[in-house]
Chains A and B, each alone.
Chain A
Amino acid sequence: MPPGDGQPDSLTWQPVPGAPGAALYPLIRKIDAISSNSYILSTPDVIILIDPGGLPEQAEHLVRVIGTCRAENDRPLFVFLTHAHTDHFVGIQADPAFAHSDTAVFAVQQGGACALESGDTTVTLSDLMQAPFFPMKVGLHLFSQERPDLCSEDMSFPNGARITITRDQTGPAGLPCERIEFGQGPALVIYYTPGHSPDSICLQIGELLFTGDLLFAASPGIAGLTGWSQETLIHSLGAVETLIAKGGIRLVYSGHGRVIPAADALRMLSAVRADARGLANIAEMEPNRAARTAAFAGDCMEQVNELFTIMSGRLQYVSFILDELGESGIADQSSTLIRGDMIDELLEAFHNFAEEQRHGQDIPIHLVLKAGQVIAKLERTFNRAELTTIIDPSLVRRAGRLLSDYTTMLRGFTPPSECSDCDLIPLIEAVVTGLSVPPFSDEEVLSSADDDTAFSRILLARIGTPPLLADVEATVLAEGDSLHACIDREHFTDLLTYILEDLVGTGADKVEIRTRQTGRNAVVTVAGNVLSPATLHERRTWRFLRGLAERAGGTLAVHEHDGIQRFEFTAIAV
């Protein structure tokens, strides 16, 4: 089982500050979409399990620990869910004796409780996560509309538990809350904090606050899940921030990831709230969108992999050449700009994850979120501004655009595509010229000879940015003086660059670009001789390029015949 990640306070009993007689057993996992953290609370009156998680082996471990607890001092057992998403509870269903008997009383906010009882596969994300579950009985509906405000209600349950529950619709920080007393020992306070889902709650015992997925609710791929609400989320985040700021809470236990000191939680809540404010009108992350995003993730990561390997290789090349020239000081400068080892590890982790998915359950949302995680880390590892002083800025720019296009899509927005009237001929000529000349002219190299700093900068760029088309016979054959089409200039520029790179990279030494108008269409054909024999399988690059062509405002067809590879881009002529 994968319970802990080496955190010192996972899987050990520890006292609960501010709640005499209570102890906590946290099970803290590395962050993923498969299973949440779990927490067992033990007081003299009751055993409380918060979020059994999504894995049967995790639930099995928890049941064992609870069994030991009850053997020492038999007490009623409650299972609270911070919300009814499958990664927080479905693991427990592998133990039918536990999940479907009256041994434990399940306690869930009313909306989530109804979803669990009716077997709703949408609200619980069962469809999206492809995690089926059996409808289950929820003994305690939290925030039930039938419960009157500010009146204490005594309740008893088949497992012998007796509680007193008191509703306060305008509790601390304006959060609706319910205080549950299980006996003479410490009470549990439940706060209603919707936003991530309509049934999200936070729980407080002593100075500990359990926040479920509140801190992840504005993260790419998580924001926009079915039931997510920007407005209620912003309110809940603000109210929990106020609650913590008032004092009395020392540690925050999240539904995923590590334990957070209150001061850090305040900063995080504020940052999440700022993120949430920018998420108006995002698309819902339902199974169809997850499948589309997963397909984009696969193609995008393949291309990201290639671009980062090329950039890293280019820096190694620069370093090698400078070493050969006896300029090892300058060589050291260039080799540190990309953490190749870290990037390799990240890309490999994604590759392995994708392979496991392909051969296993193949759940799109898992791939989508994993790609999001890797891309966020990649964003932090490379220094775009400095890289562009050495290697081809187009490589760096395209890598950056890929990362941001994916993040944009993951966040529920459409990657920007601004199609407008554009004359293709001067644009194509500008791209070809840009790829044919070095970043600094020979004169500039000579004139920098007296200035060490300028010389090393120019030397690095000259070595690091060899013009792609320098040794290639490239011709542009245009029909007429102009050809106007409705395209997105930036994406078209990227597309043309990728195509030229693909042809030259795979061996072409002659490239021809033709433009023509056919009926209402503007057509750009890029053709090159290829060394390798016809490829039997469609290369993933081509699938990526077709997607890019769509974002550029057109369509792309790829043909290979008699050693000539031909890419044909078609857009609407203006």
Chain B
Amino acid sequence: MEAEAAVVRRSVGRRLAGLFHGRPRLQVGALLAGPVGWLVIGYLGSLAVLLAAAFWSVDAASGELVQTFSLENFQTLLDEPVYKDIVGRTVLIAALVTVTDAILAFPIAFYMAKLASRRGKAILVVAVLLPLWSSYLVKVLSWRTMLSSGGVIDWALEPIGLSGPGYGNTAVWLVMSYLWLPYMILPIYAGLERIPNSLISASEDLGASPFTTFRRVILPLAFPAVVAGSIFTFALTLGDYITPRLVSNNQFIGNVIFNNISNNLPLASALALVPIVVMVAYLLVARKLGAFEHI
């Protein structure tokens, strides 16, 4: 019985294999049907719905969703200065976080890739990975406690007559930089690993100072990796609504979307298009700069 079943199974496998043999198009189709179906129908489809919903409106009197085309939401976003402030603030913090992380990450990544011993490298990789794996919320929580009045930061700054930033934009910038730092370190590390040491030696042998070698050889080669890391730091900051809520009273794009989702879905959708447009533009530039090789 079992042997028979095995024969049947094998022959089914064989018949299927035969069907695909020498038919590369069929093979590609079979391989892609699942993933592309899922992502195009499920994900791009959802984005399309979001796009459509951005042109709907809410009837002011009844609160009902009106599914006819209108530019009302975009008008609101453009007219009300509060939205301009919010978008400006979010993009500014995202840019600041990205720059901060690039500055903090580069020395660590460089040390890991080019100077640390084999053992030191292994330890550093784990040291950088560990916080990446630990919960996002836990990390925000620990900053919330550290930044609270009378918390660790106030306590540490008190002897020199200062007090911590408390909750606010500075706190959001600090916490976001903290959260996304490993996402910047790892692509830069991998990018630096790919630079052959012989290139650096050649530059040194030709008389370049370490600074010149860094500026003319290492930085240009590592730049796409920095851009790759910046995709994460930028996108993650742009879409976060939890950190702002936990360590500030300020509104960011994410908060406004979150607050409007149940009572004004069209406005929330229109606002959600802002980070999409920003990110798609960012990704297109990043791809031009060769960053996709480093993700």
Q: Is B a genuine binding partner of A?
A: no
Which residues of chain B have a CB within 8 Å of any CB of chain A?
none
Which residues of chain A have a CB within 8 Å of any CB of chain B?
none
